[in-house]
């Protein structure tokens, strides 16, 4: 066989277009606008949610959980759909991306708005919630940092979630 006639397949060459600074500015402006709309919508829904919670007799801290669930609903649905379709990596990427967006964008936006308008700020994380938050971060680092996981790690995450839900109703 003549080796000179063999050609190895080469990866297709992609040309990436460099974004213009104006498009980055427009994207940043739209991001800030979107976050402001989400915060204002959550604020407008809060009285209805609080009225429903009071009518049921549930604790008032449940309002924050419901608002967070509403904000995270699209990503949660997409992550569950990806997991149901046996696309675990996509599901994890959606879930972690949603959490990072919530923590990295929404909370600083709420803090900035509170500071800008000189409003009181209460993030609603007490000492028990702080312990659960730290444990969740440590467990996430152990689970996702090793590159491999097991069933026990998933159960620990579910136990932490169950503790959070329990402490929401019974502080």
Q: What is the predicted pLDDT for the residue at 4?
A: 54
Assess contact for 129 and 167: CB atoms under 8 A. Answer: yes
Say which range, 6-20, 22-36, 118-132, 151-165, has the weakest mean pLDDT: 6-20
Query: What distance in Å separates the CA atoms of residue 33 and residue 50, rounded to the nearest whole number?
Result: 26
Label residue 33 by pLDDT band (50, 70, 90).
confident
Q: For the chain, give the percent of residues with pLDDT over 90.
A: 1
Q: Which residue, among 46, 36, 61, has the nearest Cα to 114 in the 3D structure?
A: 36
Residue with more model confidence, 53 or 168:
53
Q: What is the widest separation between alpha-carbon atoms in the chain?
A: 83
Domain ranges of the chain: 26-123, 125-171
- Arithmetic mean of pLDDT, 114-123: 82
pTM of the model: 0.55
pLDDT tens profile 120-153:
877 767 777 788 888 888 888 888 777 777 788 8
Q: Is the pLDDT of residue 80 over 70?
A: yes
CA contacts within 13 A on the Cβ side of 124: 15
Q: What is the predicted pLDDT for the residue at 42?
A: 75
Assess contact for 167 and 128: CB atoms under 8 A. Answer: yes
Q: What is the predicted pLDDT for the residue at 121?
A: 79
User: DSSP labels for 41-61?
Assistant: HHHHHHHHHHHHHHHHT--TT
Q: Is the pLDDT of residue 8 over 60?
A: no
Query: What distance in Å separates the CA atoms of residue 96 and residue 77, rounded to the nearest whole number?
Result: 13
- Arithmetic mean of pLDDT, 45-67: 84
């Amino acid at each position: 066989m003549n080796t000179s006639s063999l050609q190895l397949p080469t990866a297709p060459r992609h040309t990436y277009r460099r974004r213009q600074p104006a498009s980055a500015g427009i994207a940043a402006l739209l991001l800030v606008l979107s976050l402001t709309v989400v915060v204002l919508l959550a604020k407008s829904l809060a009285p209805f949610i609080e009225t429903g919670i009071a009518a049921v007799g549930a604790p008032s801290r449940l309002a924050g959980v419901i608002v967070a669930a509403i904000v995270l609903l699209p990503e949660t649905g997409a992550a569950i759909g990806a997991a149901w379709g046996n696309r675990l990596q996509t599901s994890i990427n959606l879930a972690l991306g949603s959490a990072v967006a919530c923590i990295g964008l929404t909370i600083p936006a709420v803090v900035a708005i509170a500071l800008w308008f000189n409003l009181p700020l209460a993030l609603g994380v007490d000492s028990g919630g702080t312990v659960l938050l730290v444990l969740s971060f440590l467990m996430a680092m152990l689970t996702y940092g090793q590159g491999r996981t097991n069933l026990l790690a998933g159960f620990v995450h579910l136990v932490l979630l169950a503790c959070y839900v329990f402490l929401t109703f019974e502080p």
